[in-house]
A and B are shown apart, each in its own frame.
Chain A
Amino acid sequence: KAGVTQTPRYLIKTRGQQVTLSCSPISGHRSVSWYQQTPGQGLQFLFEYFSETQRNKGNFPGRFSGRQFSNSRSEMNVSTLELGDSALYLCASSPRELGTTDTQYFGPGTRLTVL
């Protein structure tokens, strides 16, 4: 099976712009989660989508949003970019809605740089 794919892999934006990142989960996986990774804060959970519905949300401002399509593909949007949004954005998929034992399979990430 093909792994989790994320596009684009690298992105450079300027402050105030918006950005959309895309994630294609492993075939058959219905849960998609998004994470932000920075040197200072480490890996932080953004949100999880399952069956096109947001199931969980982390502590991020409303500028961060996402959605999931009927084919389980997901997009994440960040509006009004700030310098602090520069990070590696990781997407992870899982066969079912996350529970205590479910393994998540991560993609390679999208490296976003905000100038």
Chain B
Amino acid sequence: LAKTTQPISMDSYEGQEVNITCSHNNIATNDYITWYQQFPSQGPRFIIQGYKTKVTNEVASLFIPADRKSSTLSLPRVSLSDTAVYYCLVYNQGGKLIFGQGTELSVKP
């Protein structure tokens, strides 16, 4: 089963760019990499998804190297409201979402 590893926590300041790296060494050929954001007492919210190279949307960018064994979520110019837990996921076979421990991002003023 594909497994993801992320830093447990990160600190940042408002206005900085934050990069969260996730490793997924045994990702399967057909697997996509997906990132979710979760605020306390709320359900996770989809941020971005990609297969290779770079994907960008209005919220974040996702960088995936050629070997696809890792990925980096980039949040430009974070604000206090970006304080949340960020999960990197790779679907296992059968479509189950397997959440890792997530990265708790704390943005300070």
A106 and B44 contact, Cβ closer than 8 Å, known pairs A58-B96, A101-B32: yes
Query: Is B13 at the interface (CB under 8 A from chain A)?
Result: no
* B96-A90 in contact (CB<8A): no
Nearest chain A CB to B19's CB is how many angstroms away? 22
A100 and B30 contact, Cβ closer than 8 Å, known pairs A45-B98, A48-B95, A55-B95: yes
A106 and B95 contact, Cβ closer than 8 Å, known pairs A42-B102, A100-B32: no
Instruction: Given contacts A42-B100, A109-B43, list 13 more A-B pairs with CB under 8 A.
Output: A33-B97, A35-B97, A35-B99, A43-B99, A48-B96, A58-B96, A98-B97, A99-B91, A100-B31, A106-B44, A108-B42, A108-B43, A109-B42
A88 to B38, CA, bound (A): 13
The residues in B between 42 and 62 inclusive whose CB is less than 8 angstroms from any CB of A are 42-46, 49
B31: chain A residues at CB < 8 Å are: 100
Say which residue of A88, A98, A107, A111 sits within 8 Å of B95 (CB atoms).
A98
* A45-B45 in contact (CB<8A): no
* A103-B46 in contact (CB<8A): yes
**Using a Cβ–Cβ cut-off of 8 Å, how many residues does chain B contribute to the interface with A?**
22
Sorting the interface of chain A by its residue count into under 10, 10 to 19, 20 to 34 or 35 or more gives 20 to 34
Q: Which residue of A lies closest to B99 (CB)?
A: A43
B81: chain A residues at CB < 8 Å are: none
B91: chain A residues at CB < 8 Å are: 98-100
Nearest chain B CB to A23's CB is how many angstroms away? 11
B41: chain A residues at CB < 8 Å are: 88, 108-109, 111
- Report which B residues bind A (CB closer than 8 A): 30-32, 34, 41-46, 49, 87, 91, 94-102
B43: chain A residues at CB < 8 Å are: 4, 90-92, 106-109
A33 to B35, CA, bound (A): 18
B49: chain A residues at CB < 8 Å are: 101, 103
A44 to B87, CA, bound (A): 13
* A106-B45 in contact (CB<8A): yes
Nearest chain B CB to A90's CB is how many angstroms away? 5
